[in-house]
Amino acid sequence: MKPLILKGVRPYGEGDPTDVLIRDGVIAAIGSVDDEGARIVDGGGAVLLPGFVDLHTHLREPGREDTETIATGSAAAALGGYTAVFAMANTDPVADNEVVVTHVARRGREVGLVDVHPVGAVTVGLEGVKLAELGTMAKAGVRVFSDDGHCVHDPLIMRRALEYSKALDVVIAQHAEEPRLTVGAQAHEGEQASRLGLQGWPASAEESIVARDCLLARHAGARLHVCHVSTTGTADVLRWAKARGTEVSAEVTPHHLLLTDERLATYDPVNKVNPPLRTAADVEVLRRALAEGVIDCVATDHAPHAVQDKDCEWSAARPGMLGLQTALSIVVETMVRTGLLDWRGVARVMSERPAGIAGLADQGRPIEVGEPANLTLVDPDATWTVRGAEFASIAANTPFEGMELPGVVVATVLRGRVTALGGRIAE
Ligand code: DOR
Ligand code: ZN
């Protein structure tokens, strides 16, 4: 592979533009560099960040290749600035065994646009009854286990899963939703749901599981990761648990950083998601919790759905929204433009912390000589208009349709190879 020079870039948005030379997949020099045979990408003063890592992506393969495949989802990830994604286990068949996780990883490598790490299910068939073979999957390379889409609600199963995760040095990522409290739930339980006549999804259904799991994790001496935090109370619980030394990490989605349940007034199911969009007060708390590190990172919960599963009445629609190609822009809009995070902070929540939580050694690394060249180049000043139909994903269910957003991914580099450039997948 030819050496690569990123010309006129600003690592972490700091200092004057400089050049970065990449050779053999590694950052070889930073400063005034020269290499005659190198491919040159003109940075134009753009911000250089470590490649983004998404702990929560639904790639839908195997089983729902009509909505996304590992190939199309990998392309969406590369275009969104990601160099690694974790593919959730709620596929068909479920990734609750070595065969499926090995297939997902192999297919990801074949596509080669982003590192695809399969998430293993915690329980067989995501049914919450019997633990899946965590040890076998861990041996096959699985670092993160989750029943996402479903909560591991039985406290004894969760306790055992946490105990195994400690022994295997992996992490359990919990979709925190007490199912008895969300039977038939369609929207955040509050004024808006009452007004619209939609059955409520109470904040306490999330908070009670997070509190319980923090206690269980502490008891087991294990690490816990909380998926898609959506409420003020969950942020409070996390703050409390971290203050007393519990090994808990948490993610927030871009949509929960921007959108509120006021969007539901149109009954457009594009806004239906689990956990549901909450209130403006929750959004404010989530932004601050992310800035402070009470919530560790941003994860997309990229959830492609077929037209027939979204273009239907609210109660019949599936929950979920696309996220990979809009995440950076939503973070710029909600966290950078508000002054809550600088670019070092963006690197932390989009790359360094998620890589650390999942134990990836070669992602989320500092931009320094000798480090693997997994990088994202962002134009912070450019804006663009969201068009779901133009996404690399097969599905188009974005709640941000038509919005003009700040922050454009100029290029993505995976181990020294350009995967996306100027909004296109690189040849
Ligand atoms: O909105 C959601 N969609 N939340 C989940 O937990 C699962 C996901 C999906 O798979 O569509
Ligand atoms: Zn979930």
Per residue in 243-299, pLDDT tens? 999 999 999 999 999 999 999 999 999 999 999 999 999 999 999 999 999 999 999
What is the pLDDT at residue 116?
A: 99
| Cα–Cα distance, 360 to 194 (Å, whole number) | 44
CA distances, 405 to each of 214, 220, 315, 328, 416 (Å): 36, 43, 30, 10, 28
Domain-ending residue, one of 309, 332, 358: 358
Q: Report the DSSP beta bridge partners of residue 20.
A: 6, 30
pLDDT at 427 over 80: no
At 192, which CATH number?
3.20.20.140
User: Of 329, 358, 387, at which residue does a domain stop?
Assistant: 358
Q: 109 to each of 102, 113, 117, 319, how far by Cα in Å?
A: 11, 8, 10, 29
pLDDT at 189 over 80: yes
Say how many Å lie between the CA of residue 12 and the centre of ligand 2: 31
Domain count, the chain: 2
Rounded distance between C-alpha atoms, residue 302 and residue 57, angstroms: 5
Confirm whether 149 is domain-assigned: yes
Per-residue pLDDT reduced to its tens digit, 83-94? 999 999 999 999
Same domain, 209 and 343: yes
**Beta carbon of 151 within 6 Å of any ligand 1 atom:** no
CATH number for 399: 2.30.40.10
Looking at the domain assignment, is residue 240 inside a domain?
yes
Residues 25, 116: one domain? no
Output the pTM of the full model.
0.98
Average pLDDT rounded to a whole number, residues 208-231 = 98
Question: Does 228 sit in the ligand 1 pocket, CB within 6 Å?
Answer: no
79 belongs to a structural domain: yes
Q: What is the separation of C-alpha 202 from the centre of its chain, rounded to a whole number of angstroms?
A: 24
Model confidence at 360, pLDDT cuts 50, 70, 90, reads very high
Q: Are residues 125 and 239 in the same domain?
A: yes
Does a structural domain hold residue 405? Answer: yes
Q: Is the pLDDT of residue 34 over 90?
A: no
Q: Are residues 27 and 56 in the same domain?
A: no
In a domain, residue 317? The reply is: yes
Asked whether the predicted pLDDT for residue 409 surpasses 80, the reply is: yes
Same domain, 30 and 65: no
Q: Are both 189 and 156 inside the same structural domain? A: yes
Enumerate the β-bridge partners of residue 187: 200
Mean pLDDT of all residues in 95-99: 98
Same domain assignment for residues 188 and 266:
yes
Query: Do 58 and 35 lie in a common domain?
Result: no
Q: Tell me, yes or no, whether 363 lies in a domain.
A: no
Q: Read out DSSP for 131-190?
A: B--HHHHHHTT--EE--TTS----HHHHHHHHHHHHHHT-EEEE----GGG-TT--EETT
User: Does residue 365 sit within a domain?
Assistant: no
* Across 300-311, average pLDDT: 98
User: Final residue of a domain: which of 328, 358, 388?
Assistant: 358
pLDDT band at residue 36 using 50, 70 and 90 as cut-offs: confident
Same domain, 116 and 37: no
CA gap 265, 191 in Å, rounded:
12
Ligand 1 binding pocket includes 192 (Cβ within 6 Å): no
In short, whether 273's Cβ falls inside 6 Å of ligand 1 is: yes
Provide the token pair at 237.
């619980």
| pLDDT computed for residue 35 by the predictor | 83
Do 267 and 281 lie in a common domain?
yes
Same domain, yes or no, for 293 and 279?
Answer: yes
Ligand 1 pocket: which of 188, 259, 318, 321 to mutate (most atoms within 8 A of CB): 318
Cα(66)–Cα(60) distance, rounded to whole angstroms?
9
Residue 308 shares a structural domain with residue 213:
yes
Nearby residues of 105 by Cβ (< 8 Å), 6 or more positions away: 116, 117, 118, 140, 141
Helix, strand, or coil (residue 240)? helix
pLDDT at 2 over 80: yes
Domain span at residue 43 reads 4-47+371-425
Q: Is residue 9 scored above 90 in pLDDT?
A: yes
Question: Which residues carry out catalysis?
Answer: 301
Q: Give domain status of residue 59, yes or no.
A: yes
> pLDDT tens digits for 20-31?
999 999 999 999
**Residue 176 has what pLDDT?**
99
